[in-house]
Amino acid sequence: MITTTDQSLADIRRKVEAGEMLSLEDGVRLYESPDIHTIGELANSVRERLHGRVAYYNINRHINYSNICVLRCKFCAFYRPFTKGDNRSPEASFHDADGSYHVSVTDIVARAKEAYERGATEVHIVGGLHPTLPFSHYTDMCSAIREACPHMHIKAFTAIEIIHFSRIAKPRMTITDVLIRLRGAGLGSLPGGGAEIFDDRVHDEAFKNKTGEVEWFDVHRAAHELGIYTNATMLYGHVETREERIRHLLKLRAHQEESLRNRAACFNCVIPLSFIPDDSALAHLPGPGGLEDLKTLAISRLMCPNIAHIKAFWIMQTPKLAQVALEFGVDDIDGTVVYYDITKREGAGTTRQELSVDQLQRLITEARCTPVERDTLYRRVLRGDRAWSIEGEAWSVPYDPAPGSGESRRGSNEEALIPLTLPDRDSPDP
Ligand code: V47
Alpha-carbon distance of 147 to 255, in angstroms, equals: 34
pLDDT of 410 > 60? The answer is no
pLDDT of 299 > 80? The answer is yes
CA angle centred on 143, ends 423 and 95, rounded to 5°: 115
pLDDT of 399 > 90? The answer is yes
CB 85 within 8 A of CB 40: no
Pocket lining for ligand 1, CB < 6 angstroms: 75-77, 158, 191-194, 196, 231, 233, 235, 271, 273, 275-276, 280, 313, 316, 334, 342-343
Ligand 1 centroid–CA 191 distance in Å is: 9
Note the pTM of the prediction, 2 decimals: 0.92
Q: Enumerate residues 6+ apart whose C-beta is below 8 A from 176.
A: 222, 225, 226
What was the pLDDT predicted at 388? Answer: 97
Amino acid identity of 3? T
What was the pLDDT predicted at 349? Answer: 55
What was the pLDDT predicted at 340? Answer: 77
Tens-digit pLDDT profile for residues 162-179: 999 999 999 999 999 999
Residues 131-154 as b/e (b if ≥16 CB within 10 A, e otherwise) read eebebebbbebbbbbbeebbbbbb
What was the pLDDT predicted at 159? Answer: 98
Ligand 1 centroid–CA 237 distance in Å is: 13
Ligand 1 centroid–CA 271 distance in Å is: 9
CB 79 within 8 A of CB 67: yes
What was the pLDDT predicted at 57? Answer: 96
What was the pLDDT predicted at 416? Answer: 31
Paired sense of beta strands 370-373 and 101-102, if any:
unpaired
Tens-digit pLDDT profile for residues 175-224: 999 999 999 999 999 999 999 999 999 999 999 989 899 999 999 999 99
Alpha-carbon distance of 271 to 231, in angstroms, equals: 8
- Can you give the residue ranges of every domain in the chain? 7-48, 55-398
Ligand 1 centroid–CA 71 distance in Å is: 15
Tens-digit pLDDT profile for residues 48-75: 999 999 999 999 999 999 999 999 999 9
What was the pLDDT predicted at 423? Answer: 27
Four-residue CA torsion sign, 375, 178, 312, 115: positive
Alpha-carbon distance of 393 to 197, in angstroms, equals: 38
Residue 337 binned pLDDT confidence (cut-offs 50, 70, 90): confident
Q: Which residue's CA is minimally distant from atom 16 of ligand 1?
A: 193
Ligand 1 centroid–CA 273 distance in Å is: 6
Q: Average pLDDT of 248-254?
A: 98
What is the homologous superfamily of the domain 55-398 according to CATH?
A: Aldolase class I (3.20.20.70)
Report the nearest atom of ligand 1 relative to the CA of 190.
6
